[in-house]
Structure 1
Amino acid sequence: MKTDNRVFTRLLHGASATAVLAGMLMLSPMAQASTALTADDAAAEAADDATGDNSAGDSASDEGGSNAIIVSGSRIVRDGYQAPTPTTVLGADEIRRAAPLNLSDTINQLPALAGSTRMNTSTISAGLVGVNALNLRNLGTQRTLVLLDGQRMPASTTGGLVDVSTIPDSLVERVEVVTGGASAAWGSDAVAGVVNYVLNTSFTGLKGEVSGGITTYGDDPNYRLSLAAGTHFADGRGHIMANIEQTWNEGIHGIPRDWYVGAKQMFNPAYTPANGQPEMLAATNVGYTTVAPGGIITSGPLRGIYFGPGGAPAQLNFGSVVRDPYMIGGDWQVTDFGNGPQALNNPMVRQNAFVRASFEVARALEVYGQFGWSRAKTDMITTPMFQFGGLTITRENPFLPESIGARMDELGLTTLDVGTWNQDIGGLPYKADRNLYRYVIGTKGEFDMLGSDWQWDAYWNRNVSDFKQELYIPINANYRRAIDTVMGPNGVPICRSTLTDPNNGCVPLNILGTGVASTGALNYVNGTAWLDATITQDTYAATLQGEPFATWAGPVSLAAGIEHRREASKGNSDELSKVNSYWAGNFKAIVGSYTVTEGFVEVALPLAAELPFAHALDVNAAIRGTDYSSSGFVTTWKLGATWAPVPDIRFRITRSRDIRAGNLADLFQPGQTLTSTFSDPFVNNESYAMFYTAVGNPVINPEKADTFNVGAVFEPRFIPGFSASVDYWDISVKDAIASISVGTLLNECFAGDQSLCQFIERGADGRVSNITLRPVNLASQVVRGIDYEASYRTDLAMLGLPDSQLTLRALATNYLENSSLTGLVGANPTSSLGTFAGTPEWRYLLQASLTAGKLTTSLTGRGMSDGVLSNTYVECRANCPTSSATARTIDNNHVDGFFYIDLSASYRFRPEVEAFFSVSNLANKAPAVIPNPTGIGSQQWGVNQLYYDVIGRSFRAGFRFNF
C-alpha cells in the first residue's frame, strides 16, 4: 500500500493541532463517540429490536461478557464502554415488522433524516432517477457518510450521492445512525453524521422471503424475492455465505389521484405597491395561458386560440384571474400538464447478489473476501417538452387551419407566437441502468502487546459504479427547422430550410393540434441523448485497536489507522449532448480523479469509576489528518465525555471539527445543462424556460463544520425496561461548497450586483439564453435542534399473558434552525426551517409492538408539523405592506403537516416460518396541497414527495423462512 507520509508527518508534528487537542481535553466540552452494547444471544435479539438512540439502552450487558454488539459512533471497541455520540439503531426485528419493499423507506422515517433523495425523483439531467440517498439533518446528501460494515460506500453519481438501494437488504442485521459530526473517526463527508449498515457476516442456514404488494387503487404492483445461505467448512475454520434478491415495482403513470388540483403560485395581476393586495397568490385550479397540448397563440389579437384534436381551433376560457403564464379557473385543465405523462412513482427493478468467504489461517489470523453486485434499472416516461411561447408560426405555414389563416389576413398578421407542451411528442422516454461491483479482500487478527490483546484489520476495496442513461428527446435545431414549414413547389408541405438545402433531411412537423404529427416528423425531430460513465473507488486501509495500559478507573483504549483512497470518473456521451443540442438531458461525462490519504488516532480514557457522584466518567478524543490531492491538508478532531453520577443517568457532551471536500462533480463538471422555468425580474417577472449550466471548480476548498452535542440518557432502575434520552445538537458549516441558485443570481443581478450579472447570458430578445452555475466556498449554514427518545419494554406475564411482550418507543426531532448565508455582499441569512421543501420544525415516530405467542402486531404513527411555503413570504389578504423581492406578500403561506398510521402483523406457524402483512398509510391520508413556486420544472404536482406520502394506502403480504 502506497501512502503519502505527509499525513503522518503533519499529524505527529502539527504542534498547533496537538496543542488544541490537549488543551480542549483539559478545559472544553468533549466531542462524540459511540456505544458498545454487550449481550448474550437472547439479549442481542432484543437489542436488534431497538429503533432509537442505542445509548439509551446501551448499559445492558450479558453476564458472561461475550458476543459484543458494536455500535459504530467510535472506533473504540470495549465491553461496557459508553461513548458520547448519540446513535440511533434500527434493528432486524424492526425492519422485519415494517416489511418494506426497500429498506431505505423505513430508514427515512427516522426523525433525524430529512430531505432524502427518493427513488421516484425525476431529475433527468442530473442523473438522479432511481437513486435513494440519505440526508441527515437536511444538510444535504453529500454531507452524510454511508458505510457498509464500517467501510465507505462508493458514490453512485458524480455529485457524491450514495445509492443505499445497492446494499443487500436481506443481510442487514441493523442500521446505525450516528447523529453528529464524525469525520475524525470515520473520514470526510461525515458532517451531519454517519449511517452504517451492518451485515450478518456470520449467518449460517437458509433463509428467504417472498412478498408482494399493491396500492388501494390497484396500481403500482410490486414484489420482493430473496434467498440467503451460509455454512461453515473445514471444521469450522472457514465460513461462506451467499445472497440474491430482487425487487420490482410497476410504477404509477400520470397522477391518478384525487389530490391533484393544479396547485400553483402566481403573481397577482391586480397588485400595486399601494393597493394593499398581496403580490403573490397561492391557488388551486391553476392552468397555463402560454402553453397547451397542441399549441396556443400567446399574444396579439388572436391570443388564447388553442389547437385541439386534429388541429381544430378553439378559444380558451381564461378564467377569473390571469397573469401569464398562469390563470385561475376557466379551462385550466385544457392547458395544464401537471397531471401529464410523467410517472407519479417510477418503475424499478433492483437486483443484488452478495458472496462472502472467510478462513481462519491461524488462531489469531483470518483472511476474508467478498463480492457484491447490485443493479437498479428503470424505464419510464418523463416530462413533456414544454415551450412557454417563443415559437414562431408564419402565415405561410400550410398546417394553419383555414379559419385562422383568414383571421390573420384580416388583421394583417404575418406571424403567430405559439407555446406548446407537444402532446404529440409526448412524455420523454428515459432509461437508466446502474450497476455497482464491489470487491473486498482483507485480513484481520489479534496479538498480545503491552500485556493486553490488540486487534487489527487491513483490507483493499474496489468499487466500480457503471451507469448508463438514455433519453429520447427533441433536438432543438431539428425541432425549430421542422416547425418552420411552408408549401413546397409541388404542393406538399416542406421545411423552409429545404428550399435552400434540399438534402438536409428535414421533415415538417405540425404542432398545431393533437394527433396531427407524422411519424416521419417525430423521427426527424427526436434523437437519443446517452451517457455511459464509470466511477471507480479504490481504498487501502488498516486499523489497530487495543488497550495499552490502564488507569485507576479502568483500561485506556486506543484505535489508530491509515487509509488511502482514489476516486475517479470517466465515460462518454453522444456528440449532440456535448454541445447542448437537446431540449434537456445534454449528458456530459465527467473525467477526472483525486486521491485522499488519511491517518487517525482515537483514545478513550476512563477518569473515574464506582465513586460517589461519579459512577463512571470517560473522555473520548480523536484527531485525523487528511491530505487531498485537489485541495491540500486539513485536520479534523473530536472531543467528548460521558459522566454518570449514578447508574440511572448519564450525561454526554461532544465537540468536533468535520469536513467535506469537493466531489467529482464539484471539481470536474464539464458543463451539465439543465432546463427549467423561472421568473425573470428584468422582464416584469415573466416566467419562461431557461437553460442553466453547472460547471466544476477544480480549486474549491474543503468546507469545515463545527459540531456541538450535549445530552442525557435516563435509565431509572425503579422502572425496569424504561429508558429515555434528550440531546441538543448544533452544526455550523463555513466555507460551504455550493452554487448560487438561478433565482438568487437573477434577483441579485437585478438588485445591482454586477459581479453576478456576468454569469447571465441574454439573447437578442432580452430573455435569458443561459446561466452558468459554479460551486464556490461562499456559503455558510447553521442547523440545530433537539432529539428526544423514550422506550419501554415489559413482559406481560404478570397480566396473565404468558409469552407476551409489549414494546413502546417514541422518537422526535425538534429542528430549531436551518439557516444559510450566500456570502454575497449585503446578503442576509435565509431560513428553510418549517418550509414545505426545507426542514420541518418537528418530525416524530411513535411505535407500539405486541408479541403474544406466535402473533406479533405493530402500530406506527409518523408525523410532521405544519409549515409554510417560504419564510420570506408575508401572509396577508388585505391591507398588505409593500411587497419586495426579499419579503413578498402572499394570500396563503400555510402548509399542513401530516400524521400517518401504519399497521403490520406477523404469525409464526413454526419457529422457522412466518407469514406477514402490513398496511402503510392506513387512513389513506392525502398529501397536503402545496402550490408550486413560480419556477416551473418537469413536475407540477402541487405536493412534496420528499416528506409526504403521494402513493396512498398500500398493502404488502408475504412469508419468510429461516432454517
Structure 2
Amino acid sequence: MRRRLSASSHSLLATCALVSIACSTVQANAEDHRFNIPSQSVSGALQLFSKQSGYRLLFPSRSVADLRSKPLSGSLSAEDALNLLLSDTPLRIASIRGKVIALTARKGEAMAISRFKLAKPVQLAALQPAVGMLAAAAEAPPPPVDEIVVVGSQIRGAKTTGALPVSVVGKEDIAAMGAVSANDLFRTLPQASDMTFNEQTLGGGSPNAARGDVASVSLRGLEQGNTLVLLNGRRMVLHPTSQTSNGTPVLTYNVNAVPVGGLERVEVLRDGAAALYGSDAVAGVVNNVLSTDFTGLSLDATYGGAEGTGMREFQFNGKYGSDFADGRGNISLMANFTRRTALEVGDQDYTGTNDLRSFVEGTAFEGNTAFDTRSTSSSWGAFRTQNGSAVRSNGALVTSAAGVFHIQPQTNAGCQINLSTAPGICIDDGVITGAADRNLRADNSASFPDITVTPSTTRFNVFSFINYALSDNVKFFSELGYYRAKSKGYTTPGTLLATTPITISSSAYWNPFGAAGSVNRLSGIDAPAEGLNLTTVNLSIRDAGMRQVNVTNQQFRLLGGLKGEIGNWDWESAALYSEATVKDSGDAISNSLLQAAINRTTADAYNPFNGGDPSNPSGPDTTPSAQSTIDSFIATSTRRNKTTLALWDAKVSNAQLIDIWGAPIGIAAGIEFRRETYKDDRDALQDGSTPFVDSITGVSYSSDLLGASYRPDIYGKRTVFSAYAELAVPVFTPEMEIPMFHALEFQLAGRYERYSDVGDVAKPKLAGFWDLLDGIRLRGSISGGFRAPNLEVINTPVSEGVNSRTDYVQCEADLRAGRISSFSGCTRSFAVQQRRDGNSELKPEESTSWSLGAVLTPPLPGGLGKVTLTVDRWRIKQKGSVGILSDATEIALDYLARVNGSSNPNVVRAAATADDIARYAGTGITPTGDILYVDSRYENLLPLDVQGIDFGFNYASPTTPVGRFTLNFNASKLIKYYQSASAQVQSLLDAIAGGEINGAIGVTGAADLVRQDGHPRWRYSGTLTWYKGPVQVGLFTQYIGSVEQSTVFDANANPYVVDSQLTGNLYVQYTLKKDGLGGTTSIQLGARNFTNERPPLATSGYLASLYQPQRRYWYATIRKSF
C-alpha cells in the first residue's frame, strides 16, 4: 500500500510552507565590516563600499551624478553602513539578496526590475595590511560598470516592468532547493507545468523519443514550446530531438545545458511577452543569467546520493575572473563537471515491478488491470499460419479456426498439444487472452532490475566571457559556451511490431508445423507434408536481454557584440551562433537478420517457440537460444539530430526621450534576423534505406529495425525577420504628489515577425501599474502572442509511429457477449501504426493573454523588517494550436461508427477472419478485422483557454540577537484548462451522454482538464532561511496537488486520483572567514525530500513528468572562494 507522511512530517512541512516564499529576497549577513570611505562622489563611494564589504551593488543609472557622499568610518554591518552612506541622497535600499544589494529612488516605486549600475566586489588579500589596502582602494579610480536589464522590458532604466509579474530565483534559493541540475531547479517553480522532456524517458526503447540528459520548462500548464528560454537575455538553440505530445512532435529548449552552478539568477516573466521577445513567449519567458563579469576564484564540490539506491552524484564547479588593461576589461571563466550513476528499477518497490495491483488492494481499484502494465509482448509468442488454415491433431483443433495459436506453460488451462522443444510448455489455440493467460505477460522490471529509471550521466559545461571597454562609451562583450553530456541507460528487450510481421519458413528447424520428417514437427497433426509457413503475431526477444542506450548531447554557443551610450541613448548590437547535436545510439535487432536466424534449418536456429519459464511465466526467459545465435541478429541503431540558430540583432533605448509633466517617456526599438535549421538523420535500418524484405513473402517494409516503425530523414530551415518597438509612458509620478495617484505608468509594445515558411504575424502589448499610495500597487497587462509551427511538423514526409491502443469496438463486443463485466476489464490492446503527414500550410498559433494583480508593501513598525504580498489573476486563450487527432480518438470514432453500422475511413482494418466472426457473433456488430493503421495529418486545431491565479508572500526580518531570517511563499492555482472539442470529439461526447458508446473510453482533449494527468490544480513552494554569524540554515518545501489519470476508471466509471505530494529539503551551512589559505570556506550538509516521501502511485508506478523518482537524497558541499 502507498505510504503517507506522518502527522509530524505534515505539520512541519505545512507550517514551513505557510510562512515561506520561493524566489525572493535574502538578507545580508549581520557580520560587521571595517569601513573607511572618505567623502567623494556617491558613485565612487558606492564602488568603495562594494570593495570593502564584498557586496555587489545595483543602483539606478545616472541617479547619483554630481552628488557627494558623507565620509564613513568604523565597524558596521553592511546594511547599517549603506544606510548611513545613502543619507541625504535620493537612494535607499530596495532589497538585499545574499551578496547583492539593489538600491532604488526614495520617491516612486522600487526599481527592482530596471536599469542598474553594478559595482563589482574585490577580494582583499588576507595577509596584506588592511589600512594600506583601504587607502589604495580609496585612491583607485572606480572600476567599469555594467548595465543590467531584468526581463520584462527592453528600455534600460524604465519602471514599467513593475507592471509585470516577475519572479527572480537567486543563488540562495537554488541552494535551498538543493538543485544540482536545471531538471532539479525548474521542477520547483509553482508556475511550471509537467516536465514532459526529462531524463527518465527512454521511450520504451524506441529511438523516436528525446532521451538522455534533457529537461524542459513550460509555464502556465501549456505544452512544451510555449515558454521562451533565454540565456543572458538572448535565445537558446532548440534541443534537436522532439517529444510527442498528444500525437504531435514538440521541440523545446534543453535547460540541462544551463550550468546551475554558474547562475547569478533566473528571471521568470509570468506573462505573455511575444510583443517583446517574439515566438514561443506565449506563457512567459525564463531568462538564465550567468555570472559574466567577476574577479577572484571560487571552487565547490558536491557529493550526494539517494537513500536505499545505488544512485550517487558528484559535481564540481569552478569560476575564475580577472580584470585586465587597468580595469577596462575582464575575462571570466566557469566550468562544471557532473557525474551521476544510474537509478535502477530494482532500487525501489514502486518501480521494481510492472504489476502494481497489490498497491491498490483494499481500494475501489482493487484488481483493476490498468495497474498491471506488464507487457503483452513476451517470450510466450503468438503466431498464425500464413494461409490462415487451421491445424488439427487427431481431429481436434490445435489452432483457432483462423490458424492462430500461442505458446504457454502446461499449467495454464487450454493446452491443445504439448511441445517437446522445451520442458513444460504447450500450444493453445488463439491469441493470449487477458484473464486466463494474464500470467504470460512480461514483467520486465522484475525480470531485469538493472533497467534504468534515470541513466548514468557525465555532464561537462564550460563558459567564458570577455568584456572590454573600448572607450568611455563603447564596450565589447563576448560569450563562448560548450556543453556535453553522455548518458547510458538500459531499457526493455526488443519486441516485434504487429505491423511488421516475420514469416517463419516451413523448413525452419524449430517450426512445430514444419515439413514431414523434420525434427520438431508435431506428430499427429494434419498439416500438409510440405509443412506450413507461419507468421508472427506477438513476440518479444527477451532472451537477447536489455538494450543499452547511449546518448551524447552537445551544445555550442558563440556570441560577440558591442554596446554603448550616445547621450541619453543606449545601443547594443550582437551576433550569435549556436548549435545543438544529439547522437542517440542503442542496441537493436534487425528484422532481416532475425528472420534469417529463425529460418535456419540447423539446431543453431533461433527458437521463438520455447516460451519462458513455466514456473514463473512473467519472469526471465530461462530457455534462451545460444548466445552466438542471438549475436547474429543484434545491430546498433544510431540517430543523429542537429539544430542551429544564427542571430543578429540591433537595439536602442532611451529612458528619457522626452519629458511630459516633468516625467520622462522611455522608448526602445530593435530589429533581429535569425536563421534556424533542423535535421533528423535516422539510422539506415529505420529511414527506408535498408528496408526489411520478407524472404518468404517478398513483402517489403520500410523499417528493418525491430519494434520501430519507419521514420524518414527530415530537414527543414527558415529565416525570420523581426522588428519591435516599446514605449514607457508615465502619466503621474510621485513628485506630483497627487492623492490616490502616487504613480501611474504604461508600457506599449509591438512586434512584427516575418517567416520564410509560415507567413508573418504582428502582436501588441499594453501593460501598466497604478500606485494608489507608496506601497499599494495595482498592475495589469494585455497582449497578443504567437508560436510558429516547429520545423518538424512542417517538413515531415509521411512517417509512421506505433502506439499501444485499445480497440474499443472489440471491447464492446466482449461486453455484449458477456466475456467481460465492464470496460475496465477489457484487454483488447494492440500495437497500432499511425501514419502522420507534415503540413507546409500550417500557420502560427496565436494567443491572447491578460493579467491583473496587486503588490502590497505595507510599512511595518520600526525594527520589524519588510513584507511584500502579491496576487496576480491571469488568462491565456490560444487558437490554432498545431495538433493531430490522436489515433486513440480516430479509433474511438470508428467504435462509434461501427455500433451504428458504418466505419471511420481513417482507421484501416484487415478483413475479418474466422476468429473475428466468432468474436462478434450475437453482438449486433458487423465483424471486422484488426487495425492495420490510422491515417492522420498535422493541422491548426481548435482553441485552448487556460486561467489561473498566483500568490506571493515575502518577509525579511531585521537583524536581531538571534540572527536574521527570510520567509518566502509562492503559489499557483490552475482555475481552468479548457480544451475546446473538435466536431469529431464532440460527437464522441454526445454519444457517451446518449448511451451509444461506453464512457470508459476516456476521451481526452475536450472539456476542462484541470486536475487531469499533468495539470494539478494547486502547486506551491517556499523557503525559510536563517542566518546567524557564520551559520546558515535553509528549508525548502514543495507541494504538488492531486491529479486524475484520465484513462483509468473503477467499475463505477470514477477516475483514479493520483495523490498530492508535499516534500521538503533542508540544509545547514557553516562559513569559515579568512582561513589560512585566504578567502572563505563553507561547508554545507543537506537532504532533499528529507521526510522520505515516495512519489504518489500511478499506473506506471509514478508520473515522471511531475515527480522525481528517488526518495530521500543526502548531499554534502564544500565551497572555497579566494
Q: Same fold (TM over 0.5)?
A: yes
Q: In the alignment, which residue of structure 2 is the partner of 1:710?
A: 852
> Is the 1:285–1:328 contact (alpha carbons within 8 Å) kept by the matching residues of 2?
no
Q: Is residue 735–residue 780 contact of structure 1 (8 Å, CA) maintained in 2?
A: yes
CA contact (8 A) 2:604 2:629 kept: no
> Is 1:731 matched with 2:876?
yes
Q: 1:529 to 1:303 in 2, by over 3 A?
A: closer
Instruction: Name the CA shift for 1:416/1:64 in 2 (closer, same or farther; >3 Å).
Output: closer
**Size of the alignment, in residue pairs?**
864
5 Å matches for 1:898-937?
A: 898-910=1061-1073, 912-931=1080-1099
Q: Match for residue 494 of structure 2?
A: 385
Partner of 2:461: 352
User: Is the counterpart of residue 858 in structure 1 residue 973 in structure 2?
Assistant: no
Deviation at 1:898, TM superposition (A): 0.8
Say if 2:224 is the partner of 1:144.
no
Is the contact between residue 667 and residue 697 of structure 1 (CA under 8 Å) also seen in structure 2? yes
Letter in 2 for 1:666: V
User: Offset of 1:154 from its aligned partner?
Assistant: 0.6
Which whole-Å CA distance do the structure 1 matches of 2:564 and 2:436 have between them? Answer: 70
Secondary structure of the corresponding residue to residue 375 of structure 1: strand
Q: Indicate the larger mover: 515-524 or 390-399.
A: 390-399
**1:650/1:263 Cα in 2 relative to 1: closer, same or farther (>3 Å)?**
farther
What is the DSSP-based 3-state SS (H/G/I as helix, E as strand, rest coil) of the residue aligned with 1:698?
Answer: coil
Q: 1:609-628 maps to which residues of 2 (within 5 A)?
A: 609-610=733-734, 611-628=738-755
Aligned-pair CA distance for 1:743: 0.9
**Structure 1 residues 380 and 856: alpha-carbon distance in aligned structure 2, compared to 1, 3 A threshold:** same
- Correspondence for 2:1119 among 940, 943, 960: 960
Partner of 2:110: 59
1:669 is matched with 796
> Higher strand proportion, which one?
1
Asked if structure 1 preserves the Cα contact closer than 8 Å seen for 2:509 and 2:520, the reply is no
Structure 2 partner of 1:5: none
Q: Tell me: CA distance 1:217–1:397, structure 2 relative to 1, closer, same or farther (3 Å).
A: same
Tell me, yes or no, if structure 1 residue 121 matches structure 2 residue 229.
no
Decide whether aligned partners of structure 1 residues 819 and 524 sit closer, same or farther in structure 2, where only a CA change above 3 A counts.
farther
Q: 1:570 to 1:284 in 2, by over 3 A?
A: closer
Contact map agreement 1:39 1:69 (CA 8 A) in 2 = no
In structure 1, what residue type is equivalent to 2:706?
A: W
- Corresponding residue for 1:435? 554
Preserved contact between residue 350 and residue 356 of structure 2 (Cα < 8 Å)? no
Q: Secondary structure at the match of 1:575?
A: coil
- 1:64–1:734 distance in 2 versus 1, CA, 3 Å: closer
Alignment of 1:538-553 (within 5 A): 538-546=646-654, 547-552=656-661
Query: How do residues 768-779 of structure 1 correspond to structure 2 at under 5 angstroms?
Result: 768-779=931-942
Alpha-carbon deviations, 1:617-637, whole Å to 9, x = none? 111110111101111121111
Q: How does 1:72-151 map to 2 (within 5 A)?
A: 72-78=151-157, 80-116=159-195, 117-123=197-203, 124-130=206-212, 131-151=214-234
Q: Please give the alpha-carbon distance, in whole angstroms, between the structure 2 residues aligned to 1:542 and 1:852.
A: 47
Identify which of 580, 590, 603 aligns with 2:727: 603
Cα deviations by residue, 1:781-813 (Å, 9 ceiling, x for unpaired):
11111111111110351xx32xx2111111111
Contact kept? 2:582, 2:642, Cα under 8 Å: yes
Corresponding residue number in structure 2 for 1:893: 1056
Whole-angstrom CA distance in 1 between matches of 2:293 and 2:410:
66
Q: What's the counterpart of residue 141 of structure 2?
A: none
Aligned pair partner of 1:691 in 830, 833, 854: 833
What pairs with 1:737-886 in structure 2 (closer than 5 Å)? 737-752=882-897, 757=904, 759-763=906-910, 766-797=929-960, 800-801=961-962, 804-821=963-980, 823-825=982-984, 827=986, 830-831=1006-1007, 833-835=1009-1011, 837-870=1013-1046, 877=1051, 880=1052
The Cα offsets for residues 158-210 of structure 1, whole Å up to 9 and x where unpaired, read as 54321111123222100011111100011111011100001121111111211
Question: What residue in structure 2 maps to residue 244 of structure 1?
Answer: 335
Contact 2:271 2:283 in 1 (8 A): yes
Q: Any idea what the Cα deviations from partners look like across 1:675-697, whole Å, max 9, x if unmatched?
A: 33111234447211123344422
State whether residues 310 and 516 of structure 1, in contact with CA within 8 Å, keep that contact through their aligned partners in structure 2: no
Corresponding residue for 2:545? Answer: 426
3-state DSSP class of the match of 1:744? helix
Aligned counterparts, 1:4-19, within 5 A: none
| Structure 1 residue 399 displacement after superposition | 3.9
Hey, what does 2:673 align to over in structure 1? 564
| Structure 2 partner of 1:653 | 780
Counterpart amino acid of 2:1112? R
**TM-aligned CA distance change 1:826 to 1:305, over 3 Å:** closer
Following the alignment from structure 2 to structure 1, what is the Cα–Cα distance between the partners of residues 319 and 374? 53
2:475 is matched with 366
Change (3 A) 1:599 1:374: same
Structure 1's 357 and 587: CA in aligned 2 closer, same or farther, altered over 3 A?
farther
CA distance in 2, matches of 1:172, 1:665: 32
1:478 to 593, 598, 606: 593
Q: Tell me which residue corresponds to 2:1103.
A: 944
Deviations 1:459-489, CA, capped at 9 Å, x for gaps = 110111122121221223433453356xx3x
Query: Distance in 2 between the 1:361 and 1:174 partners?
Result: 28
Q: Aligned pair in 2 of structure 1 residues 712, 263: CA closer, same or farther (>3 Å)?
A: farther
Distance 1:549 1:435, change over 3 A: same
Q: What is the one-letter code of the residue matched to 1:780?
A: P
The alignment partner of 1:352 has SS state of strand
TM-score norm. by structure 1 comes to 0.82
Moved more, 137-146 or 743-752: 743-752
For the 8 Å contact 2:1089–2:1112, the answer to whether it is kept is yes
The residue type paired with residue 156 of structure 1 is H
Residues 397 and 782 of structure 1: CA distance in aligned 2, closer, same or farther (over 3 Å) = same
Alignment check: 8 A CA contact 1:291 1:335 kept: no
The CA distance in 2 between the partners of 1:118 and 1:709, in whole Å, is 30
Structure 2 gaps of 5+ residues are 1-24, 26-56, 61-77, 80-92, 119-146, 243-250, 358-363, 385-397, 412-418, 613-620, 689-702, 812-825, 913-928, 990-1004, 1075-1079
Identity of aligned residues (%): 24
- TM-fit CA distance, 1:570: 3.7
Contact preservation (8 Å) 1:232, 1:240:
yes
Q: Describe the superposition over 1:468-517 as per-residue Cα deviations: whole angstroms up to 9, x where unpaired.
A: 121221223433453356xx3xxx2477xxxxxxxxxxx77676443522
Q: Displacement, 1:930?
A: 1.3
Q: Is the 8 A contact 2:381 2:540 kept in 1?
A: yes
Match of 1:681 in 2: 808
CA contact (8 A) 1:287 1:328 kept: no
- State how far apart, in whole Å, the 2-side matches of 1:836 and 1:391 are: 40
Structure 1 residue 231 displacement after superposition: 0.8
TM superposition score normalised by structure 2? 0.71
- What is the identity, as a one-letter code, of the residue corresponding to 2:227? T
- Tell me the CA shift for residue 62 of structure 1: 13
AA of the residue aligned to 1:128: A
SS in 2 for 1:591: strand
Tell me if structure 2 keeps the 8 A contact 1:791–1:809. yes
Deviations 1:319-348 (A, max 9, x none): xxx996645998488655577453111221
* Compared CA separation, residues 563 and 525, structure 1 to 2 (3 A): same
Q: What's the RMSD between the two structures over aligned residues? A: 3.9
Work out the CA distance in 1 between the residues paired with 2:1115 and 2:159: 40
Instruction: Check 1:706–1:432 CA distance in 2 against 1; reply closer, same or farther (3 A cut).
Output: same
CA shift, 1:846, in A, is 2.4
Letter of the 1:99 counterpart: G
Q: Which amino acid aligns with 2:569?
A: W
Does the aligned pair in 1 maintain the 2:240–2:581 contact within 8 Å? no
Relative to structure 1, the CA distance from residue 955 to residue 422 in structure 2 (aligned partners, 3 Å threshold; closer, same or farther) is same
